[in-house]
Amino acid sequence: MHLSEFKINETTYADSNYDEYDEGFLEYKDYLVSKCLPGEGGKFLYTYDFGDDWCHEVTVEKIFKEEEGVKYPLCIDGERACPPEDVGGIPGYEEYVEAMFDPTHDNHDAFMQWRGPYDPEKFDKVQATKRMQKR
């Protein structure tokens, strides 16, 4: 839903539709992240939604050989639920989670109407795979 970028080995991969970029980045739609990754133990940065500024440092723990008949990308494990879209970055998310677990919080009812029940500990690797493959 929002713009994003990858910074891998000093190279920025981003969407050329974003006006703020000068020269010096590569159009990420022209590359497979898996072909640009650092080796095992390497790290890269992924930033999503420049307004909320969700910045992730990703560590490549292990690289598996591709298996015939498997559709990629494929999520094999994970932790915790994604924050809702447009929640307001880290401060907004912290308030959101606090309000969801406190029915007396001033914003509890508004957040329930906006998004409904939310479990920050829930992780669904099947749903994560579907979201990644949709792109």
For 84-108, write each residue's pLDDT tens digit.
999 999 999 999 999 999 999 999 9
Residues 94, 78: Cα–Cα separation, whole Å: 20
Dihedral sign (CA 112, 116, 117, 121): negative
pLDDT at residue 22 is higher than 70: no
Six token digits for residue 16: 């050329």
pLDDT at residue 19 is higher than 80: no
CA distances from 23 to 14, 15, 36, 89 (A): 11, 12, 19, 28
- Neighbour count for residue 68 (Cβ, 10 Å): 4
User: What stretches of 15-82 adopt beta strand conformation (E)?
Assistant: 25-27, 43-48, 54-59
pTM exceeds 0.95: no
pLDDT (0 to 100) of residue 2:
84
- Identity at 131, one-letter amino acid code: R
For 39-73, write each residue's pLDDT tens digit.
899 999 999 998 899 999 999 888 888 899 999 88
pLDDT (0 to 100) of residue 21:
62
pLDDT (0 to 100) of residue 7:
93
